[in-house]
Amino acid sequence: MKRVLKLITISLAVILAGACSKSLKDITITSCDVTSISPRGLSAFDATLDLGVNNPSVQFTLKKMNATVKMDGAPCLYLTADDVTIAPRSENVYTLIVHGTMDQGFNPFSLLTLLQSPGLEPVTVDVSCFGALKSGLGKNFEYKDLPLKDLLGQI
């Protein structure tokens, strides 16, 4: 389960950091580690990620980060993350708090199929966030049906 959670949360972090890289070209994710997972009841959790970011550009903040993880087109996991501000012209490790909730109609045992499927073929991700510059100006980013296997290749 920790492997599946790490793959999903890494994907969220890569997508969210990559969302601003369309306009701020050279931002890269240098590392991503799941440092803790805390269950909240039977169908929710909080996770803490240490996310390494190399930002040779200006300061920006990622806000309103949301992701829906889908398996075979059906929602299985909803993720949100707290806002994070990336310092300008630096390479730092940032703590990202991710909150997850399983869809009520999703069978959590089907996640075990991911452990047997190295290609992660059936899993896609919908992501949205708002990237804001220090001045407050920003842009909404929204991506639909991104294959998880393609995102993991960017790490």
What domains does the chain contain, in order, with CATH numbers?
2-152 (2.60.40)
Tell me, what's the pLDDT at 17?
Answer: 54
pLDDT attached to residue 64 = 93
Q: Of 127, 128, 152, whose CA–CA distance to 140 is shortest?
A: 128
What integer pLDDT is reported at residue 126 of this predicted model? 92
* pLDDT of amino acid 86: 92
Residue 67 has a pLDDT of 92
Show pLDDT as tens, one digit a residue, over the chain (155 residues).
555 565 566 665 555 555 554 445 678 888 888 899 899 988 899 999 898 989 998 899 999 999 998 888 889 889 999 999 999 999 999 999 999 998 888 877 776 665 566 666 778 889 999 988 888 888 898 989 988 776 655 54
Q: What pLDDT was estimated at residue 100?
A: 92
Neighbour count for residue 140 (Cβ, 10 Å): 11
- The DSSP line for 57-125 is S--EEEEEEEEEEEETTEEEEEEEE--EEEPTTEEEEEEEEEEEEE-TT--GGGGHHHHH-TT-TTEEE
**Predicted pLDDT of residue 21:** 46
The model's pTM is 0.75
The span from the CA of 131 to the CA of 39, in Å, is 29
